[in-house]
Amino acid sequence: MSDRQTSGTDARRAAVALLDKVLGEGLLLAECQMQVLEPLAAADRARAQRLTLETLRALERADRILQKHLRKPPALFVRNALRLGTVELCSGGAPHGVVNDIVNLVARHRRHGKLKGLVNAILRKVAEDGPAEWAKLRVPRLPKWLRSPLAQAWGTEAMLAIEAAHFRGAPLDLTAKPEADLSALAGAFTPTGSFRLVEAGQVSALPGYDAGDWWVQDAAAALPARLLNAQPGERVLDLCAAPGGKTLQLAAAGAEVTAVDLSEGRLGRLRENLARTGLVAAVVVGDVLEQVGHYDAVLLDAPCSATGTIRRHPDLPHAKDGSGFGELIELQAQMIAHAWSLVKPGGRLVYCTCSLLPDEGECQIEDALEMFPDARPGEGVKALPGIEPGWLTEEGGLRLRPDYWPDSGGMDGFYMAELVKSAE
């Protein structure tokens, strides 16, 4: 077997294992991919991640293709192997290599190896007829627990456009230091100032990575720190800071940054990026609600449903069911109230979530403006570059959705707003 075939086998085996954990155990990829992918070479890890994400995005289509070949669903491992093979075959994968690899994976399974003949027969049929059928199928739908509130919030047409954006996936965006030269990278700047790569490849091999010139950050996720507009020497508190893209932005602006997060593990990535970029911030492991002091500016990227990041994390709809959103919304309100107490008179708070649900965005700021008599909406959202008027909201915030910029790669769903505290 050639090195190339070995690589494909290892990546596909890992991808099926990840699918089993997401679809069988209800885990998020972030919770399980390290364990599964760690033994693989870098190229195989990247390929396994890509195959897993592509299969999760296209799961509904794969099941539609497979249903006519199956009298009843097989065991999850076999079903996921078939799903992976179907997505590859219907997306231009070489039939011989894909079919042989998937059949061998099933054949080596101690419980399901006897089904290798069935898998071989089904995938050969899919290789013949699947691509033509694939092109006729509708865009995969979101689960009902999310589809309904999105349609209610933004309308059916927008909800369908969001689903289409999720299916397309996401490009890779970079945020650069102000003095960085990105001319060696293949890509272009977005209207909001992020740098969007034409093709990502291995991130750590890209020009400027080792020099710490930039970091990976979606164009939408880069806007809250720009909205805060930290000035050199200002004392800034970044709450729920990990994995740290916003901390890096604030530090690059010259602010004295304190980054707080409850997760020691996630803060490890922040420390690594600070070291790589040569930027400085105080890193604190702690609960947002226990922080004390007064700051010129506070950025609160509150825990949320993360529904705005599904195009990047298609595992999320399979690992969540919406049942915990009420507790999240209550926690967000508590965090906003405490964060406001940490803002100096005349200072400002930027609140943001990577959620598509108004209850986690617009509604929270409406409530905050009623709760805090010394708060007013900031005007910074109107000064951000590349912002279209229709993205501004009634209470003074900024609503971003995955279906914006449809012809140039879209953006994550985000909400953000600035509150300014009275100087008196």
Residues with active-site annotation: 354
Distance CA 274, CA 139 (A): 40
Distance CA 247, CA 242 (A): 8
For residue 87, the Cα-to-chain-centroid distance in whole angstroms is 21
- Sign, Cα dihedral of 103, 108, 112, 117: positive
Cα–Cα–Cα angle for 198, 204, 205, rounded to 5 degrees? 70
Distance CA 238, CA 296 (A): 11
387-423 b/e (C-beta count within 10 Å ≥ 16 → b):
beeeeebebbbbbbbbbbbeeebbbbbbbbbbbbbee
Distance CA 360, CA 397 (A): 12
Which residues lie below 8 Å from residue 401, measured CB to CB, with a gap of 6+?
Answer: 154, 158, 162, 165, 308, 356, 411, 413
Distance CA 146, CA 314 (A): 13
DSSP 231-294: -TT-EEEEES-TT-HHHHHHHHTT-EEEEEES-HHHHHHHHHHHHHHT---EEEE--GGG--S-
Instruction: Tell me the chain's radius of gyration from C-alpha atoms.
Output: 23
